[in-house]
Amino acid sequence: MEARHRRALKFLRTRLGRLIRDIRRKVKGDETLKQAFVVPLSRASQVRSQQQRQRGWKLYSLHAPEVECIAKGTRHTMR
């Protein structure tokens, strides 16, 4: 990976991590807010922790999590 690309990814992961921690801290006492942010925070954590070439399931879209990667026009099974 190019250094500029790696630096940009690190910057985005850092910003996303700060945002996740900030939201968790602010909804700590309020159960209704906690329930409202369960799904978005879990998706954000998944995006932050996944790697480019990881095997298995990946989250490609926050608003449509059912989206899958189709490589070379054919549907491949995840191994």
pLDDT digits (tens, 9 = 90+) for 6-37: 999 999 999 999 999 999 999 999 999 999 99
How far is residue 51's CA from residue 3's CA, in Å, rounded to a whole number? 16
Task: Report whether 74 contacts 43 (CB < 8 A).
Answer: no
What are the extents of the domains in the chain? 3-49
- Residue 50 CB-half CA count within 13 A: 16
pTM of the model: 0.74
pLDDT digits (tens, 9 = 90+) for 49-75: 988 888 888 888 888 888 888 776 655
